[in-house]
Amino acid sequence: MHNPQDPAVSLQPLLALENLKKYYPVRKGIINHTVDHVKAVDGVDLTIYPGETLGLVGESGSGKSTIAKLIVGLETPTEGRILFDGQDISRLSPREMIRLRSELQIVFQDPYSSLNPRKRVGDLLAEPLKVHRIVPAKDISREVDRLLELVGLPKNSRNRYPHEFSGGQRQRIGIARALSLKPRLIVCDEPVSALDVSIQAQILNLLKELQRELGLTYLFIAHGLGAVKYVSDRIAVMYSGRIVETGKVNEIFREPKHEYTRTLLDASPIADPRQRDKRRAFHSH
Amino acid sequence: MNLIKRYFAGRSEAQEEKLAWPEGEENSRTLFWRRFKRHKLAVAGLVVIGILTLCAIFAPFITAYKPTTVTDSFGAAPSLQHWLGTDQVGRDQLSRLIYAARVSLAVGLGSIVISAVIGTVLGLISGYFGGWIDSIIMRLTDIFMSFPYIMLILVVASIVGPGLTNIILILGVLGWPGVARLVRGNVLSVKESDYVKAGRVLGFGSVRIIFSHILPNVVAPILVYATSGVAGAILDEAALSFLGLGVQPPTPSWGNMLASAQSLTVLTSQPWLWVPPGVMIILIVLSINFVGDALRDALDPKNNK
């Protein structure tokens, strides 16, 4: 068992991005010729070690969500490699990709749009189990119960539709679905930004707890430093398609090296919750 | 760090989420009915359609005569024996009217099922895969939609020959482009949703994503469109039969019963021959369109009242 506080002792990174680039063409005119590129991700190097949580911070449009999509295969990179366990997964055939699916999963930002409104929770969780034959058919029901329990939802949730749950509960369902394939790496794409502050803490605690119990590795994406500080071991700061600074949480907060990181720190809300609560209460009335 | 931890810990204890569902919560079906029932005309329409369907199914048990039986009175006005009179050959008009409901309903439902199936499958494929597949299917719909509809039906009907089955097939095969367009548009928006992306990340195949994840989310607009399609098909059949290219005598259809009104004597002196089938066509088309409107409102996900 390695020490997640000190990822440097792990020998091999679980995930490594090497000079990763994703350009979106800007097309114009009737012949649809490419006039320019939007450089969403422009040469990113990043390593994530087994068992750690890497926080990826950056403003909207900095390319952090594109990185999430590239890692889970929703987009193909323009250039560069994505090494998972030493193997380049960025240009796999669909068949090979399907085998890898169970290793890499994602939790989406918006729990309202990430669950199919026409499916019961039980079916949402059972489907990946069936498709990938994670457990024998007769054990699927028991496995669904186990997943629900794992994320702190009652068993009778399985007969309910997503719209019957609150945002936080929906995000728990999303996490359970990601866990169903027993992945090693979970990309959390702003998993709490759509939730109430009080609920955010519960989801973050759940993620930490699951990491402890299941030995998961997280890439935790957020646009602010608040939640990232709480869950991450290391933080990478992203700005207009590039990583501008990487370091342990304390280092980044104590002595930010890059200008943009300092701006980000300044933009963070007041650290003392009592002060912040007072201000919020004042403004809301 | 400790401060933050204490902060979060305190919060999570204080505001533990409640996991209780209210007992009398409305499920989606009762909600649907509540919204549907607000349209009084649609409820009436549903009743009319129900009665007509029952009449069509049980036609042999509720009619006094067979639709092809020639009785001893010719072109007689309505009487106790023949409530709606008889036609020039002496057949009971009411019996023919009831049997004709079978034709109209069969054409309406049969053709729309064919167009909906073709249109839905092509629309799903077109919208989901995009690219050149999309271009080909969409240009195909353009071609189909740019033909003058009734002319095309007339030409095809004269080539393959008239008759009930042919009418259903022709209307069905020509009616899909509208459905395909509609489905494609909806697929384009649904496929960008996170739950479809989640399906791809979970390693589901395209077929599973298209039919198990996308299709259930585009059924509502298809249903609304199909409802108005039924009315359209019934009108088309009536028009074709009126022109003699639809259902052939002696099989009764409201359209070919109306054809008798082509004669001036019938039009002026024997209104019982053409008024009832005309009224039936208006009645069923109106009913279906009212139901379609109510469906549109009741199935609208943005409407939460």
Cβ neighbours of A109 in B, within 8 Å: 194
CATH code of the domain containing A78:
3.40.50.300
Q: Which of B285, B219, B230, B234 is nearest to B113 (CA)?
A: B230
Mean pLDDT for B124-128 is 95
Per the domain annotation, does B104 fall within a domain?
Answer: yes
pLDDT for the residue A269:
64
pLDDT for the residue A282:
45
pLDDT for the residue A128:
93
Per the domain annotation, does B26 fall within a domain?
Answer: no
Residue with tokens 């740019």: B146
Per the domain annotation, does B275 fall within a domain?
Answer: yes
Number of domains in chain A: 1
Q: Check A114 against B198: CB less than 8 A apart.
A: yes
Per the domain annotation, does B197 fall within a domain?
Answer: yes
DSSP calls for A37-92: EEEEEEEEEEEE-TT-EEEEE--TTSSHHHHHHHHTTSS--SEEEEEETTEE-TT-
Cβ neighbours of A180 in B, within 8 Å: 202
Per the domain annotation, does A208 fall within a domain?
Answer: yes
pLDDT for the residue A283:
46
- List own/partner pairs for B6-15 with CB under 8 A and 24 or more apart: B7/A201, B7/A273, B8/A201, B8/A204, B8/A205, B8/A230, B9/A201, B11/A197, B11/A198, B11/A201, B12/A198, B12/A201, B12/A202, B12/A205, B14/A198, B15/A198, B15/A199
Assess A198–B contact: CB distance below 8 Å, yes or no.
yes
Per the domain annotation, does A153 fall within a domain?
Answer: no
Q: Residue B127: which domain range?
A: 34-63+92-299
So what's the ipTM on this one? 0.84
Show which of residues 225-264 on chain B sit within 8 Å of chain A, judged by CB atoms. Answer: none
Q: Per residue of chain A (285 residues), give pLDDT as tens.
A: 444 455 455 568 899 999 999 998 888 777 777 778 888 888 899 999 999 999 999 888 888 889 999 998 888 899 999 999 888 888 888 778 777 888 899 999 988 889 998 889 999 999 999 998 888 989 999 999 999 999 999 988 888 888 888 889 999 999 999 999 999 999 999 988 888 888 888 999 999 999 999 999 999 998 878 888 888 999 999 988 889 889 888 888 887 888 888 887 777 665 566 655 554 554 444
Assess B24–A contact: CB distance below 8 Å, yes or no.
no
Per the domain annotation, does A174 fall within a domain?
Answer: no
Assess A116–B contact: CB distance below 8 Å, yes or no.
yes
CB-nearest to A131 from B9, B25, B203 is: B203
Token pair of A33 as six digits: 């010729």
Per the domain annotation, does B276 fall within a domain?
Answer: yes
Q: What is the 3-state secondary structure (H, E, C) of chain B?
A: CHHHHHHHHHHHHHCCCCCCCCCCCCCHHHHHHHHHHCCHHHHHHHHHHHHHHHHHHCHHHHCCCCCCCCCCCCCCCCCCCCCCCECCCCCEHHHHHHHHHHHHHHHHHHHHHHHHHHHHHHHHHHHHHCHHHHHHHHHHHHHHHHCCHHHHHHHHHHHHCCCHHHHHHHHHHHCHHHHHHHHHHHHHHHCCCHHHHHHHHCCCCHHHHHHHHHHHHCHHHHHHHHHHHHHHHHHHHHHHHHCCCCCCCCCCCHHHHHHHHHCHHHHHHCHHHCHHHHHHHHHHHHHHHHHHHHHHHHHCCCCCC
What is the band of B298 on the pLDDT scale with cuts at 50, 70, 90?
A: confident
Distance, in angstroms, between A30 CA and closest chain B CA? Answer: 15
For residues B224 and B182, is the Cβ–Cβ distance under 8 A?
Answer: no
Indicate whether B117 pLDDT > 70. yes
CB-nearest to A201 from B12, B194, B212 is: B12
Per the domain annotation, does A178 fall within a domain?
Answer: no
Distance, in angstroms, between A116 CA and closest chain B CA? Answer: 5
Q: Cis check for the bond before B162: say yes or no (omega within 30 of 0).
A: no
Cβ neighbours of B13 in A, within 8 Å: none
Indicate whether B15 pLDDT > 70. no
Per the domain annotation, does A164 fall within a domain?
Answer: no
Q: Check B3 against A204: CB less than 8 A apart.
A: no
pLDDT for the residue A284:
47
Per the domain annotation, does A265 fall within a domain?
Answer: yes
Assess B80–A contact: CB distance below 8 Å, yes or no.
no
Count of CB atoms within 10 A of residue A257's CB?
A: 13
Q: Check B203 against A102: CB less than 8 A apart.
A: yes
Assess A270–B contact: CB distance below 8 Å, yes or no.
no
What is the band of B10 on the pLDDT scale with cuts at 50, 70, 90?
A: very low
CATH code of the domain containing B263:
1.10.3720.10
For residues B43 and B37, is the Cβ–Cβ distance under 8 A?
Answer: yes
Q: Check B17 against A110: CB less than 8 A apart.
A: no
Cβ neighbours of B25 in A, within 8 Å: 164
Per the domain annotation, does B220 fall within a domain?
Answer: yes
pLDDT digits (tens, 9 = 90+) for B148-205: 877 877 888 888 888 888 888 888 988 899 999 999 999 999 998 999 999 999 988 8
Q: Check A154 against B216: CB less than 8 A apart.
A: no
Assess B213–A contact: CB distance below 8 Å, yes or no.
yes
pLDDT for the residue B126:
95
Assess B23–A contact: CB distance below 8 Å, yes or no.
no
Per the domain annotation, does A158 fall within a domain?
Answer: no
Assess A38–B contact: CB distance below 8 Å, yes or no.
no
pLDDT digits (tens, 9 = 90+) for B210-259: 999 999 889 888 988 988 888 888 888 888 888 888 888 888 888 888 88
Per the domain annotation, does B191 fall within a domain?
Answer: yes
Q: Check B3 against A271: CB less than 8 A apart.
A: yes
- The rounded distance, in Å, linking the Cα atoms of A6 and A262 is 24
- The rounded distance, in Å, linking the Cα atoms of A119 and A159 is 9
- The rounded distance, in Å, linking the Cα atoms of B279 and A36 is 63
Distance, in angstroms, between A244 CA and closest chain B CA? Answer: 24
Per the domain annotation, does B87 fall within a domain?
Answer: no
- The rounded distance, in Å, linking the Cα atoms of A112 and B85 is 62
Cβ neighbours of A166 in B, within 8 Å: 17
Number of domains in chain B: 1
Per the domain annotation, does A55 fall within a domain?
Answer: yes
